[in-house]
């Protein structure tokens, strides 16, 4: 048994879709979630900058005494996961590998599409993983720079989705990876645009299972009878985080504490 909390982070509130599955899968565990709203969005930023942000947050969460870290951000996972796993003292789980594996299992015509941020597409991690699993897959990736700001603001996304979906439709993809933790919030819009015959893949459940399996292997699970707690940190405005976050998490957030970007930078120094 290990009573330390699990750390989860994202550029904003999108990672709460992953946290929700972790809460359902591991209701006996404690969680601390950090949303880097002061530097949102990550997608348009250079990969090296996203990698630096991820190392700052990972280092900060480690100083908070977490026992495992979930990188609930596809851009940060693409840019920084191997490095985080090398330098941090706690296990680190990302969100990309489970999605790539699920897409390869799901596709019927071996045509897989990806909707993701510019940084995730540029990193090429999805394409590498998919082709390692099945070299015959035709893989089409589309960067969607407008989606995260629209979703965070709660604005209409239909026009942007129609635009970004078109190349994947033209490629005949029967399976589309939602390569950003924000995108499940507009899943009904995405499914309507793609139609019933296209399967949308998002791996929050599989990521949560990977976390649970890691704790089990290490003997770090909390008592099954325990009811876990969760708390929230943001580099942005706590009230903005709360109002947006409750829509994503579908649970009350309670107190949200602000963390200065300088504190993150010092943690990685």
Residue among 14, 128, 34, 134 nearest 75 (CA)? 14
Instruction: Report the alpha-carbon distance of residue 254 to residue 257 in Å, rounded.
Output: 10
In this structure, are strands 138-143 and 175-179 parallel, antiparallel, or unpaired?
A: unpaired
Please give the structure tokens belonging to residue 82.
Answer: 């191997």
Q: Which two tokens stand for residue 97?
A: 């590998």
- Single out the catalytic residue among 22, 144, 173, 180: 180
Active site residue 73: yes
Rounded Cα distance, 1 and 18, in Å: 23
* Cα 246 to Cα 123: distance, rounded to the nearest angstrom: 31
Q: Which residue in 22, 64, 73, 144 is the catalytic one?
A: 73
User: In this structure, what are the phi and psi dihedrals at residue 31, rounded to the nearest 5 degrees?
Assistant: -135, 145
Tokens of 55: 């190392």
Distance CA 76, CA 39 (A): 13
Alpha-carbon separation of residue 39 from 74, 200, 218, 261 (angstroms): 15, 28, 34, 9
Catalytic residues: 73, 180
């Amino acid at each position: 048994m290990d009573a330390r909390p699990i750390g989860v982070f994202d550029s904003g509130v999108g990672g709460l879709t992953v946290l929700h599955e972790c809460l359902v899968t591991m209701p006996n565990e404690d969680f601390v979630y950090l949303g880097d709203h002061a530097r949102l969005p990550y997608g348009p930023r250079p990969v090296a900058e996203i990698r630096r942000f991820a190392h700052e947050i990972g280092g900060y969460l480690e100083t908070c005494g977490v026992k495992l870290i979930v990188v609930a951000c596809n851009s940060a996972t693409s840019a920084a996961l191997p490095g985080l796993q090398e330098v941090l003292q706690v296990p680190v789980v990302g969100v990309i590998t489970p999605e790539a594996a699920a897409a390869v299992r799901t596709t019927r015509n071996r045509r897989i599409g990806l909707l993701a941020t510019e940084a995730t597409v540029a990193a090429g991690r999805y394409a590498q993983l998919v082709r390692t699993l099945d070299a015959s897959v035709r893989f089409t990736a589309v960067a969607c720079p407008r989606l995260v700001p629209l979703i965070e603001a709660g604005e209409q996304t239909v026009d942007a989705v129609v635009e970004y979906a078109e190349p994947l439709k033209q490629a005949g993809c029967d399976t589309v990876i939602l390569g950003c933790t924000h995108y499940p919030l507009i899943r009904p819009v995405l499914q309507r645009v793609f139609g019933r015959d296209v399967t949308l893949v998002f791996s929050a459940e599989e990521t949560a299972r990977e976390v649970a399996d890691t704790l089990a292997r290490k003997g770090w699970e909390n008592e099954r009878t325990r009811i876990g707690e969760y708390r929230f940190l943001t580099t942005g405005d706590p009230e903005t985080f709360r109002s947006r976050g409750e829509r994503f998490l579908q649970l009350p957030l309670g107190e949200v504490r602000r963390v200065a970007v300088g504190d993150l930078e010092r943690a990685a120094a």
